[in-house]
Amino acid sequence: MPAAFSHRTSAASTDARRPAANPWAVDLRELGRRAGAMLELERTLPAPAGWRVELIGVPEGAQVELRLRLESVMEGVLVSGEADVPVVGSCARCLEPVADTLELDLQELFAYSGSTTEATSEEDEVRRIEGDHLDLEPMVRDAVVLALPLAPVCADDCRGLCVGCGQRLDDLPPDHTHEVIDPRWAGLADRFDTSSGAPGDDNTEEN
């Protein structure tokens, strides 16, 4: 019995190490290498962590919808299609929560190992096919991060926050203001405030 348990554990561990265990990996054996062969793919996959910029990003585990076409070409596999990606963050002007869905167009060539494209390209210039699998995650991640706004807004006409009290200007009345004292006169104003009761005190002393 212990030997059988050990065998099952080893097999499960081997499966976990296969590229197919990655939900973003695509098995290319069904597509084959014949130029012109095509495979249409629709998947809904969980977003990994780290797809974000400072104020907005994709929540980890959010559902990313992919509609892709994989086409076998001489140098590798051409992947094209669309992705719908939910994003959440904060308005850069008023810090209110914002939510949206990015609709992205995708197109990328994944090169076969040993192909001319792979041999003549730098490592970061072309995506590569590993064995019988390609990983869609880096392609979609790069497209998402490039599409994320550095300064997202809750509305194009958002007026931001009041510099005096920090409240959202769109929630305040149109005549909302704060008294602003010229700093050159601030010291004099303070003296008037602290001495406002002085005349009365003098009268008391005279009596």
- 10-residue mean pLDDT profile of the chain (207 residues): values are 40 41 92 91 96 97 98 94 98 95 96 67 72 94 96 93 84 79 65 56 49
Q: What is the DSSP string of 142-176?
A: HHHHHHS-SS--SSTT---B-TTT--BGGGS-TT-
Q: 15 and 48 in contact (C-beta within 8 Å)?
A: no
The predicted model scores a pTM of 0.71
25, 76: one domain: yes
118 and 199 assigned to the same domain: no
Q: 131 and 60: one domain?
A: yes
Q: Are residues 108 and 187 in the same domain?
A: no
Q: Which tokens is 206 given?
A: 């005279």
pLDDT for residue 63 = 98
Identify the domain containing residue 37 by its residue range: 19-147
Claim to verify: residue 116 and residue 69 sit in the same structural domain: yes
Looking at the structure, do residues 127 and 60 belong to the same domain, yes or no? Answer: yes
Q: Are residues 23 and 117 in the same domain?
A: yes
Residue 200 host element (H or E) = helix 198-206
Kindly report the backbone phi and psi dihedral angles of residue 200, in degrees, each rounded to the nearest multiple of 5, phi listed first: -65, -40
Regarding whether 125 and 173 lie in a shared domain, the answer is no
User: 140 and 74 in one domain?
Assistant: yes
Residue 6 confidence (pLDDT): 39
**In this structure, is residue 162 part of a structural domain?**
no
Q: Residue 10 and residue 16: Cα distance in Å, rounded?
A: 10
Pairing mode, if any, of strands 127-128 and 97-111? Answer: parallel
Looking at residue 21, its pLDDT comes to: 83
